[in-house]
């Protein structure tokens, strides 16, 4: 009972903001959800209490794990669910004229305040067949939520998993930058990719809108166009640069840069290495350094990395050094990244030695250009000197597998369990309102997930429990858990008295994800032939599934 004496909690009273994308409205659903709602209403069946599970059937990218994401957007969506008069009018226009007006009055009253949502926390490592969300409520209302929920979780989980896989191959020590906005599938394909790649372990994004919406660090310097927009030094209006300590001003930074270029070209160590460098590139670098003397990072492959980009960069970096500034580094966007990064590092180290600049050898080398899991793996095998990767297309569009097969299945209605059969066993649904436990062994890693009926006693630490494969009779194992974690938690209590989880900040979701990934046994995570993680059901649930299956399946007649 709250202060107003009302037992019914309104979700909308929870103060949760609406979805990030204002296009996520109750109309962002399939037309058949409304035709079904009408048929339920017409049969006076719309208020029947239904339980739906949201899950996927197969891990993406040929791997054996998935990171669950998208929950917060679902909670935001239903916490603010309300059909406007305009929307109801549009629905009415698109249903047969024979549909009765009472239905539209019913739609007017829907606010999801009686919908309960149980979910695995966002950022958890999850596996096929395990319900990520269990949604309970009036059957007509929960049906309306199917499409937006699946939409909001499908891509979110897919791209988070993709980011986690890229992080796994790149290794912990590298900086990972998401550069995908321009190639993403639409504006919020880009914005949500930025958000979920950050959760999956990326460090920063180029996407300013995502930086603003989610507080993700921003990164980026300049493009090839910037370099080719310069013709000569004449274009630099103001050539003066104050020293870093502010004590004096170099009136002609351009001359200082040119002096350094000549010096390294003709020094004993580098003589003959550099041919004539491109002057317009040098002008562009110099101009960029004048604008950002403390953040000078240059794209060096507009003309020729080794013959032009790197020497030009070094000349500017050395000139900056004279004034007390330390250049940040370079970005390579084409060519043999392994070779070019090693050659660049060698040169940086030689300059460090020649001019006694202790930071020069350690300057950052960023690589970009159509990187993906395979190219990162190839770079590792070859050996390279890259510190940071900028990854775009393959990451944000999930090029290797562009969709996750998330489904939303009815498992109970009016307290009656329901099963969806299929000739393909992997498509048979697990009926009943269920609980999920993750069982841990003596080591810290998870051993197995077990799904039980809602009212079965939970697995206990130190007590042996039989874990059965849901569909294969012979696959079963006893487990004595050292730690038991219940996975589904209450995020929307509906009209129940359950305590609601608060929505964690993005940073916490990211931390959870990174910790979860580290906790997994390595053989589940490897790229080549990973070991499947086991998902099981209790003995009682196993028996029940198969009882129901036999009950519903028609008996064939061989002729």
301 close to 278: Cβ distance less than 8 angstroms: no
**For residue 433, what are the CA distances in angstroms to 93, 144, 389?**
37, 20, 45
Rama region for 335: left / alpha / beta (φ>0; ψ in -120 to 50; rest): left
Biggest CA-to-CA distance, the chain: 99
Q: Does 528 bind a copy of itself (CB under 8 A)?
A: no
Q: Looking at 31-39, 126-134, 160-168, 252-260, which segment touches a copy of itself (CB under 8 A)?
A: 31-39
- Residue closer to a copy of itself by CB (options 38, 491) is 38
CB of 197 to a copy of itself, least distance (A): 13
Q: How far apart are CA 225 and CA 195, in angstroms?
A: 28
CB of 389 to a copy of itself, least distance (A): 16
Helix/strand/coil for 133: strand
Q: Looking at 148-156, 357-365, 457-465, 538-546, which segment touches a copy of itself (CB under 8 A)?
A: 148-156
- Using H for helix, E for strand and C for coil, what is the string for 455-469? CCCCCCCCCCEEEEC
Token representation of residue 246? 């502010």
Token representation of residue 346? 């060698």
- Residue closer to a copy of itself by CB (options 368, 500) is 368
- Residue closer to a copy of itself by CB (options 502, 551) is 551
Q: Give residues with Cβ within 8 angstroms of 497, minimum separation 6.
A: 7
Q: Looking at 87-95, 121-129, 489-497, 527-535, which segment touches a copy of itself (CB under 8 A)?
A: 87-95
Q: Which of 288, 389, 437, 440 binds a copy of itself (CB under 8 A)?
A: 288
Q: Which of 48, 203, 322, 354 binds a copy of itself (CB under 8 A)?
A: 48
Nearest 10 degrees: Cα torsion 367, 371, 374, 379: -10
176 close to 202: Cβ distance less than 8 angstroms: yes
Q: Which of 7, 8, 31, 353 binds a copy of itself (CB under 8 A)?
A: 31
Rama region for 221: left / alpha / beta (φ>0; ψ in -120 to 50; rest): alpha
Site residues for a copy of itself, 343-372, by CB under 8 A, read none
- Using H for helix, E for strand and C for coil, what is the string for 212-265? HHHCCCECCCCCHHHHHCCCCHHHCCCCCEECCCCCCEECCHHHHHHHHHHHHH
CB of 344 to a copy of itself, least distance (A): 17
Q: How far apart are CA 104 and CA 85, in angstroms?
A: 10
- Residue closer to a copy of itself by CB (options 413, 514) is 413
Q: How far apart are CA 330 and CA 525, in angstroms?
A: 32
Site residues for a copy of itself, 379-418, by CB under 8 A, read 393, 397-399, 401-403, 405-406, 408-410, 413-414, 416, 418
Q: How far apart are CA 234 and CA 365, in angstroms?
A: 30
Which H or E run contains 167? helix 139-170
Site residues for a copy of itself, 91-130, by CB under 8 A, read 91, 94, 96, 98-99
- Residue closer to a copy of itself by CB (options 3, 85) is 85
Task: Give the count of residues interacting with a copy of itself (CB under 8 A).
Answer: 129
- Closest by CA to 21, choosing from 91, 83, 80, is 80
Q: Looking at 19-27, 337-345, 490-498, 516-524, which segment touches a copy of itself (CB under 8 A)?
A: 19-27
Q: How far apart are CA 303 and CA 119, in angstroms?
A: 53
Q: Looking at 113-121, 127-135, 275-283, 459-467, which segment touches a copy of itself (CB under 8 A)?
A: 275-283
- Residue closer to a copy of itself by CB (options 42, 515) is 42
Q: Does 558 bind a copy of itself (CB under 8 A)?
A: no
CB of 425 to a copy of itself, least distance (A): 13
Q: How far is CA 377 from the centre of its chain?
A: 20
Q: Looking at 200-208, 450-458, 468-476, 490-498, which segment touches a copy of itself (CB under 8 A)?
A: 200-208
- Residue closer to a copy of itself by CB (options 10, 239) is 239
Q: Which of 38, 61, 68, 360 binds a copy of itself (CB under 8 A)?
A: 38
Q: How far apart are CA 296 and CA 495, in angstroms?
A: 57
Q: How far apart are CA 174 and CA 337, in angstroms?
A: 15
Site residues for a copy of itself, 417-436, by CB under 8 A, read 418-424, 427
Q: Looking at 57-65, 155-163, 442-450, 521-529, which segment touches a copy of itself (CB under 8 A)?
A: 155-163
Helix/strand/coil for 496: coil
Q: Looking at 3-11, 42-50, 126-134, 341-349, which segment touches a copy of itself (CB under 8 A)?
A: 42-50
Over the window 221 to 250, marking each residue x when it contacts a copy of itself by CB under 8 A and - when it does not, the resulting string is xxxxxx-xx-x---xxxx------------
Q: Looking at 56-64, 207-215, 500-508, 522-530, which segment touches a copy of itself (CB under 8 A)?
A: 207-215
Q: Does 155 bind a copy of itself (CB under 8 A)?
A: yes
Q: How far apart are CA 549 and CA 559, in angstroms?
A: 23
Q: Does 165 bind a copy of itself (CB under 8 A)?
A: no
Site residues for a copy of itself, 170-199, by CB under 8 A, read 179, 181-192
Q: Does 271 bind a copy of itself (CB under 8 A)?
A: no
Q: Which of 243, 267, 292, 445 binds a copy of itself (CB under 8 A)?
A: 292
Q: Does 59 bind a copy of itself (CB under 8 A)?
A: no
Site residues for a copy of itself, 486-515, by CB under 8 A, read none
Token representation of residue 42? 């017409």
**For residue 176, what are the CA distances in angstroms to 78, 108, 164, 202, 218?**
34, 47, 11, 5, 12
- Residue closer to a copy of itself by CB (options 334, 380) is 334
């Amino acid at each position: 009972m709250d202060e107003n004496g009302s037992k019914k909690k309104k979700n909308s009273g929870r103060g949760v903001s609406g979805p990030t994308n204002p296009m996520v409205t109750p109309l962002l659903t399939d037309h058949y959800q409304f035709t079904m709602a009408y048929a339920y209403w017409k049969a006076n069946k719309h208020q029947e209490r239904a339980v739906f599970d949201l899950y996927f059937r197969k891990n993406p990218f040929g791997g054996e794990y998935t990171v669950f994401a998208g929950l917060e957007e679902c909670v935001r969506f239903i916490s603010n669910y309300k059909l406007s008069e305009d929307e109801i009018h549009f629905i009415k226009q698109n249903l047969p004229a024979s549909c009765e007006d009472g239905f539209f009055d019913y739609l007017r009253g829907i606010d999801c305040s009686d919908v309960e949502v149980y979910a695995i926390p966002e950022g958890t490592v999850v596996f096929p067949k395990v319900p990520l969300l269990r949604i309970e409520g009036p059957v007509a209302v929960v049906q309306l939520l199917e499409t937006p929920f699946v939409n909001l979780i499908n891509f979110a989980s897919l791209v988070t998993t993709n980011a986690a896989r890229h992080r796994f191959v790149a290794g912990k020590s590298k900086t990972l930058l998401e550069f995908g906005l321009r190639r993403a599938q639409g504006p919020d394909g880009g914005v949500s990719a930025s958000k979920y790649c950050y959760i999956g372990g990326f460090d920063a994004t180029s996407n300013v809108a995502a930086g603003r919406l989610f507080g993700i660090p921003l990164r980026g310097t300049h493009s090839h166009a910037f370099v080719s927009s310069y013709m000569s030094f004449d274009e630099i209006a103001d050539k003066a640069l104050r020293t870093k300590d502010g004590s004096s001003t170099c009136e002609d930074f351009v001359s200082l840069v040119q002096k350094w270029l000549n010096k390294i070209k003709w020094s004993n160590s580098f003589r003959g290495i550099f041919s004539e460098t491109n002057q317009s590139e040098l002008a562009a670098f110099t101009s960029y350094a004048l604008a950002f003397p403390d953040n000078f990072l240059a794209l060096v492959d507009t003309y020729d990395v080794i013959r032009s980009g790197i020497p030009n960069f070094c000349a500017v970096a050395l000139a900056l050094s004279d004034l007390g500034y330390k250049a940040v580094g370079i970005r390579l966007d084409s060519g043999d990244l392994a070779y070019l990064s090693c050659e660049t590092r060698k040169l940086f180290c030689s300059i460090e030695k020649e001019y006694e600049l202790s930071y020069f050898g350690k300057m950052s080398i960023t690589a970009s250009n159509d990187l993906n899991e395979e190219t990162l793996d190839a770079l590792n095998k070859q050996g390279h000197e890259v510190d940071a990767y900028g990854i775009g297309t393959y990451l944000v569009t999930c090029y290797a597998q562009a969709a996750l097969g998330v489904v939303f299945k009815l498992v109970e209605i009016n307290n009656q369990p329901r099963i969806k059969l299929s000739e393909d066993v992997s498509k048979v649904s697990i009926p009943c309102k269920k609980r999920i436990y993750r069982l841990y062994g003596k080591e810290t890693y998870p051993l197995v997930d077990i799904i039980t009926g809602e009212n079965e006693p939970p697995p206990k630490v130190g007590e042996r429990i039989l874990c059965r494969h849901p569909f294969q009779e012979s696959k079963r194992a006893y487990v004595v858990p050292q730690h038991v974690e219940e996975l589904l938690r209450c995020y929307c209590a509906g009209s129940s008295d359950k305590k609601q989880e608060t929505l964690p900040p993005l940073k916490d979701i990211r931390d959870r994800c990174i910790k979860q990934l580290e906790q997994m046994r390595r053989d589940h995570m490897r790229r080549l032939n990973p070991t499947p993680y086991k998902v099981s059901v209790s003995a009682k649930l196993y028996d029940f599934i198969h009882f129901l299956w036999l009950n519903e399946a028609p008996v064939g007649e061989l002729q």
